[in-house]
A and B are shown apart, each in its own frame.
Chain A
Amino acid sequence: MLSKLEELILLAVFRGRADVTAGDVQAALSTALGREQQFGSVFTSLDRLSEKKLVRWKKGEPDARRGGRAPRLYEITAQGRKALDESLRATQVVGGAGVEGFAWNAPPARGVRR
Protein backbone atom coordinates (compact mmCIF):
# COMPACT_ATOMS: atom_id res chain seq x y z
CA MET A 1 0.00 0.00 0.00
CA LEU A 2 1.30 3.44 -0.92
CA SER A 3 1.55 6.35 1.50
CA LYS A 4 -0.11 9.62 0.51
CA LEU A 5 3.23 11.25 -0.33
CA GLU A 6 4.28 8.25 -2.42
CA GLU A 7 0.94 8.38 -4.24
CA LEU A 8 1.39 12.09 -5.02
CA ILE A 9 4.98 11.55 -6.16
CA LEU A 10 3.94 8.65 -8.40
CA LEU A 11 1.20 10.84 -9.87
CA ALA A 12 3.69 13.65 -10.53
CA VAL A 13 6.09 11.22 -12.21
CA PHE A 14 3.23 9.71 -14.22
CA ARG A 15 1.98 13.11 -15.40
CA GLY A 16 5.49 14.10 -16.44
CA ARG A 17 5.51 10.98 -18.71
CA ALA A 18 9.29 10.51 -18.90
CA ASP A 19 12.49 12.25 -17.86
CA VAL A 20 11.07 13.77 -14.68
CA THR A 21 13.63 15.11 -12.21
CA ALA A 22 13.20 15.24 -8.42
CA GLY A 23 13.04 19.04 -8.83
CA ASP A 24 10.01 18.72 -11.13
CA VAL A 25 8.30 16.49 -8.56
CA GLN A 26 9.11 18.92 -5.74
CA ALA A 27 7.80 21.85 -7.80
CA ALA A 28 4.56 19.99 -8.61
CA LEU A 29 4.02 19.06 -4.94
CA SER A 30 4.82 22.59 -3.74
CA THR A 31 2.28 24.04 -6.17
CA ALA A 32 -0.36 21.46 -5.23
CA LEU A 33 0.11 21.74 -1.47
CA GLY A 34 0.62 25.50 -1.40
CA ARG A 35 3.84 25.32 0.63
CA GLU A 36 7.45 24.51 -0.11
CA GLN A 37 7.83 20.72 -0.03
CA GLN A 38 11.00 19.39 1.66
CA PHE A 39 13.46 18.08 -0.94
CA GLY A 40 14.72 15.49 1.54
CA SER A 41 11.37 13.71 1.74
CA VAL A 42 11.04 13.74 -2.07
CA PHE A 43 14.48 12.16 -2.54
CA THR A 44 13.84 9.54 0.15
CA SER A 45 10.41 8.64 -1.25
CA LEU A 46 11.80 8.39 -4.78
CA ASP A 47 14.53 6.07 -3.46
CA ARG A 48 11.92 3.87 -1.76
CA LEU A 49 9.72 3.79 -4.87
CA SER A 50 12.79 2.87 -6.88
CA GLU A 51 13.62 0.02 -4.46
CA LYS A 52 10.02 -1.24 -4.79
CA LYS A 53 10.51 -1.04 -8.59
CA LEU A 54 7.56 1.34 -8.98
CA VAL A 55 9.76 3.91 -10.71
CA ARG A 56 13.05 3.56 -12.55
CA TRP A 57 15.71 6.15 -13.20
CA LYS A 58 18.50 6.81 -15.62
CA LYS A 59 21.29 9.36 -15.60
CA GLY A 60 20.52 12.50 -17.62
CA GLU A 61 22.84 14.77 -19.57
CA PRO A 62 25.22 17.01 -17.59
CA ASP A 63 24.14 20.66 -17.49
CA ALA A 64 26.92 23.25 -17.77
CA ARG A 65 24.74 25.91 -16.08
CA ARG A 66 24.55 23.73 -12.96
CA GLY A 67 28.25 23.00 -12.67
CA GLY A 68 28.24 20.12 -15.16
CA ARG A 69 26.09 17.99 -12.89
CA ALA A 70 23.77 15.32 -14.29
CA PRO A 71 20.32 14.65 -12.81
CA ARG A 72 18.46 11.39 -12.28
CA LEU A 73 15.53 11.16 -14.67
CA TYR A 74 12.60 9.19 -13.29
CA GLU A 75 9.94 7.23 -15.15
CA ILE A 76 7.01 5.20 -13.83
CA THR A 77 7.09 1.43 -14.42
CA ALA A 78 4.15 -0.83 -15.32
CA GLN A 79 4.18 -2.06 -11.71
CA GLY A 80 4.08 1.57 -10.57
CA ARG A 81 1.07 2.35 -12.76
CA LYS A 82 -0.73 -0.67 -11.33
CA ALA A 83 0.04 0.36 -7.74
CA LEU A 84 -1.08 3.93 -8.46
CA ASP A 85 -4.28 2.71 -10.07
CA GLU A 86 -5.07 0.51 -7.05
CA SER A 87 -4.33 3.32 -4.63
CA LEU A 88 -6.52 5.85 -6.48
CA ARG A 89 -9.31 3.29 -6.82
CA ALA A 90 -9.16 2.59 -3.07
CA THR A 91 -9.50 6.32 -2.36
CA GLN A 92 -12.49 6.50 -4.69
CA VAL A 93 -14.16 3.43 -3.18
CA VAL A 94 -13.69 4.61 0.41
CA GLY A 95 -14.80 8.13 -0.56
CA GLY A 96 -17.89 6.64 -2.20
CA ALA A 97 -20.18 8.34 -4.64
CA GLY A 98 -20.82 11.31 -2.43
CA VAL A 99 -19.31 12.73 0.72
CA GLU A 100 -20.97 16.03 1.40
CA GLY A 101 -18.94 19.07 2.30
CA PHE A 102 -15.85 18.24 0.25
CA ALA A 103 -14.85 20.49 -2.61
CA TRP A 104 -13.58 17.60 -4.75
CA ASN A 105 -17.02 16.03 -4.63
CA ALA A 106 -18.96 19.19 -5.50
CA PRO A 107 -21.02 19.03 -8.71
CA PRO A 108 -19.14 20.44 -11.73
CA ALA A 109 -19.86 23.98 -12.84
CA ARG A 110 -22.14 24.38 -15.85
CA GLY A 111 -20.34 23.58 -19.09
CA VAL A 112 -17.41 21.86 -17.35
CA ARG A 113 -16.97 18.18 -18.08
CA ARG A 114 -15.55 15.88 -15.40
Chain B
Amino acid sequence: MMDFLHYAAKGAAIIAPGFGAIWIAMRFLEEVLSSKTKSAIRLAILRSVSELFDRISSTSDRQAAPRGLLIDMCMPPDRAEDVLYNLLGRYDHWLQVHGRRWARIIFHLQSAGSILTFWSDWLLKRAKLLKMFVSN
Protein backbone atom coordinates (compact mmCIF):
# COMPACT_ATOMS: atom_id res chain seq x y z
CA MET B 1 0.00 0.00 0.00
CA MET B 2 2.81 2.39 0.92
CA ASP B 3 4.52 1.61 -2.40
CA PHE B 4 1.36 2.46 -4.32
CA LEU B 5 0.94 5.75 -2.43
CA HIS B 6 4.61 6.52 -3.04
CA TYR B 7 4.24 6.14 -6.83
CA ALA B 8 0.93 8.02 -6.89
CA ALA B 9 2.59 10.89 -5.03
CA LYS B 10 5.57 10.74 -7.40
CA GLY B 11 3.26 11.05 -10.44
CA ALA B 12 1.33 13.90 -8.85
CA ALA B 13 4.58 15.67 -7.98
CA ILE B 14 5.59 15.60 -11.65
CA ILE B 15 2.24 16.76 -13.10
CA ALA B 16 0.95 19.17 -10.45
CA PRO B 17 3.63 21.93 -10.57
CA GLY B 18 3.16 22.48 -14.32
CA PHE B 19 -0.61 22.93 -14.04
CA GLY B 20 -0.15 24.96 -10.86
CA ALA B 21 2.25 27.38 -12.53
CA ILE B 22 -0.11 27.94 -15.50
CA TRP B 23 -3.09 28.49 -13.16
CA ILE B 24 -1.18 31.02 -11.02
CA ALA B 25 -0.02 32.89 -14.13
CA MET B 26 -3.59 33.10 -15.46
CA ARG B 27 -4.93 34.29 -12.10
CA PHE B 28 -2.21 36.92 -11.93
CA LEU B 29 -3.17 38.20 -15.37
CA GLU B 30 -6.86 38.34 -14.46
CA GLU B 31 -6.23 40.36 -11.34
CA VAL B 32 -3.51 42.80 -12.34
CA LEU B 33 -3.53 43.76 -15.98
CA SER B 34 -5.80 45.74 -18.32
CA SER B 35 -7.89 43.84 -20.88
CA LYS B 36 -5.67 44.77 -23.88
CA THR B 37 -2.46 43.74 -22.17
CA LYS B 38 -4.18 40.63 -20.84
CA SER B 39 -5.11 39.33 -24.27
CA ALA B 40 -1.61 40.04 -25.62
CA ILE B 41 0.03 38.17 -22.78
CA ARG B 42 -2.49 35.32 -22.99
CA LEU B 43 -1.57 34.93 -26.64
CA ALA B 44 2.12 34.91 -25.78
CA ILE B 45 1.55 32.27 -23.09
CA LEU B 46 -0.46 30.10 -25.45
CA ARG B 47 2.29 30.38 -28.08
CA SER B 48 5.02 29.45 -25.62
CA VAL B 49 2.98 26.51 -24.28
CA SER B 50 2.42 25.27 -27.83
CA GLU B 51 6.17 25.65 -28.61
CA LEU B 52 6.98 23.74 -25.44
CA PHE B 53 4.72 20.85 -26.48
CA ASP B 54 6.25 20.91 -29.98
CA ARG B 55 9.71 20.69 -28.46
CA ILE B 56 8.71 17.81 -26.17
CA SER B 57 7.21 15.85 -29.06
CA SER B 58 10.20 16.49 -31.33
CA THR B 59 12.69 15.26 -28.70
CA SER B 60 10.79 11.98 -28.43
CA ASP B 61 12.34 11.06 -31.75
CA ARG B 62 10.32 8.41 -33.57
CA GLN B 63 13.52 6.97 -35.05
CA ALA B 64 15.05 6.21 -31.65
CA ALA B 65 14.13 3.38 -29.29
CA PRO B 66 11.34 4.17 -26.84
CA ARG B 67 12.46 5.61 -23.50
CA GLY B 68 10.17 3.57 -21.27
CA LEU B 69 9.01 6.51 -19.14
CA LEU B 70 5.91 4.56 -18.06
CA ILE B 71 8.05 1.78 -16.58
CA ASP B 72 10.31 4.29 -14.84
CA MET B 73 7.29 5.95 -13.24
CA CYS B 74 5.23 2.88 -12.32
CA MET B 75 7.79 0.37 -11.04
CA PRO B 76 10.40 0.33 -8.25
CA PRO B 77 13.76 1.62 -9.57
CA ASP B 78 15.74 -1.66 -9.36
CA ARG B 79 12.95 -3.60 -11.09
CA ALA B 80 12.43 -0.87 -13.71
CA GLU B 81 16.14 -0.94 -14.56
CA ASP B 82 16.07 -4.69 -15.27
CA VAL B 83 12.77 -4.55 -17.18
CA LEU B 84 13.96 -1.70 -19.41
CA TYR B 85 17.33 -3.34 -20.05
CA ASN B 86 15.58 -6.49 -21.30
CA LEU B 87 12.84 -4.72 -23.25
CA LEU B 88 15.36 -2.49 -25.04
CA GLY B 89 17.42 -5.59 -25.84
CA ARG B 90 14.42 -7.27 -27.44
CA TYR B 91 13.36 -4.04 -29.18
CA ASP B 92 16.23 -4.43 -31.67
CA HIS B 93 14.94 -7.90 -32.55
CA TRP B 94 11.34 -6.67 -32.99
CA LEU B 95 12.66 -3.82 -35.12
CA GLN B 96 14.34 -6.27 -37.50
CA VAL B 97 11.42 -8.69 -37.66
CA HIS B 98 8.34 -6.43 -37.60
CA GLY B 99 9.53 -2.93 -38.56
CA ARG B 100 9.59 0.28 -36.53
CA ARG B 101 5.87 0.86 -36.10
CA TRP B 102 5.08 -2.66 -34.83
CA ALA B 103 8.26 -2.80 -32.76
CA ARG B 104 7.10 0.31 -30.87
CA ILE B 105 3.61 -1.11 -30.41
CA ILE B 106 4.99 -4.41 -29.09
CA PHE B 107 7.36 -2.51 -26.80
CA HIS B 108 4.52 -0.47 -25.30
CA LEU B 109 2.23 -3.51 -24.93
CA GLN B 110 4.99 -5.48 -23.24
CA SER B 111 5.70 -2.51 -20.94
CA ALA B 112 2.04 -2.20 -19.94
CA GLY B 113 1.83 -5.99 -19.46
CA SER B 114 4.93 -6.01 -17.26
CA ILE B 115 3.56 -3.21 -15.06
CA LEU B 116 0.14 -4.86 -14.73
CA THR B 117 1.64 -8.27 -13.93
CA PHE B 118 4.05 -6.76 -11.41
CA TRP B 119 1.35 -4.91 -9.46
CA SER B 120 -1.23 -7.71 -9.68
CA ASP B 121 1.38 -10.12 -8.30
CA TRP B 122 2.16 -7.59 -5.56
CA LEU B 123 -1.55 -7.35 -4.64
CA LEU B 124 -1.98 -11.12 -4.76
CA LYS B 125 0.91 -11.64 -2.34
CA ARG B 126 -0.60 -9.12 0.10
CA ALA B 127 -4.05 -10.70 -0.23
CA LYS B 128 -2.57 -14.13 0.58
CA LEU B 129 -0.84 -12.71 3.65
CA LEU B 130 -4.07 -11.05 4.76
CA LYS B 131 -6.00 -14.29 4.25
CA MET B 132 -3.47 -16.20 6.35
CA PHE B 133 -3.65 -13.52 9.06
CA VAL B 134 -7.46 -13.55 9.12
CA SER B 135 -7.72 -17.37 9.13
CA ASN B 136 -5.32 -17.54 12.11
Contact = CB atoms under 8 A, between A and B. Distances in A.
Place the interface of chain B in its size category. 20 to 34
A72 interface: yes
A17 B134 CA distance: 43
A27 interface: yes
Nearest to A60: B85
Interface string A23-40: 100110000000010111
B111 to A, nearest CB: 8
B13 to A, nearest CB: 22
B83 interface: yes
Contact of B117 (A38, A67, A71): A38
Interface residues of A, number: 20
Contacts of B121: 44, 47
B86 A71 contact: yes
Q: Could you tell me the dominant secondary structure of chain B's interface residues?
A: helix
B113 A71 contact: no
Given A21-B89, A27-B90, A40 B114 contact: yes
A18 to B, nearest CB: 17
B89 A40 contact: no
Given A44-B118, A66-B84, A36 B106 contact: yes
B3 interface: no
A43 B114 contact: yes
Contacts, number: 65
Centre residue among B81, B85, B110, B114 by max chain A CB count within 10 A: B85
Interface in A46-93: 47, 63, 66-67, 69-72
A105 interface: no
B54 interface: no
Contacts of A71: 82, 85-86
Contacts of A26: 86, 90
B85 A39 contact: no
B86 A22 contact: yes
Given A27-B93, A70-B81, A39 B86 contact: yes
Interface of A: 21-23, 26-27, 36, 38-41, 43-44, 47, 63, 66-67, 69-72
Given A26-B86, A36-B106, A43-B118, 5 more contacts: A38-B117, A40-B110, A44-B121, A70-B85, A72-B82
